[in-house]
Structure 1
Amino acid sequence: MNKPLQNSAQMPDYLKARKMHLNGIIVGMAGMKKLNRRETKDTKVETLTIDAIKAELDFIDLQLKRKSR
């Protein structure tokens, strides 16, 4: 597990990096789908994973908005 940040000034940078990482995961999953053309239907695990990542991205956006005020 990641160690919590000590300096709150670094938090927006951490959140932005986490957001980029999660977006990369979604893009990577989409790229894998294009490579495997026989499999056109998303599995339940893929759907749940994408939904969880999108929820995390929404939460990060909320935190970034609060920090920018």
Structure 2
Amino acid sequence: MNAAQCRAARGLLRWTQADLAQASNVSEVTIRNFENEKSVPQRASLSVIRAALEAAGVIFVAENGEGPGVRLRKGG
């Protein structure tokens, strides 16, 4: 997951950074710095952030010639 995917995933869910912080139990500052590309969180933090987004219905799309992306599960 990269910063743009994280921002896009939150947008699809209509979550604020605070919502994601609460769902993933990661500080809002960590999420803000990651999304603003000021820092990259530890691997464990990235993992729980991604898991929270996936649990809410986000699917991470791998590089497929058009670049990585995100989408929502059907019915999500």
Instruction: Report the TM-score when normalising by structure 1.
Output: 0.36
Q: TM-score, normalised on structure 2?
A: 0.33
> Which of the pair is proportionally richer in helix?
1
Greater strand fraction, Structure 1 or Structure 2: 2
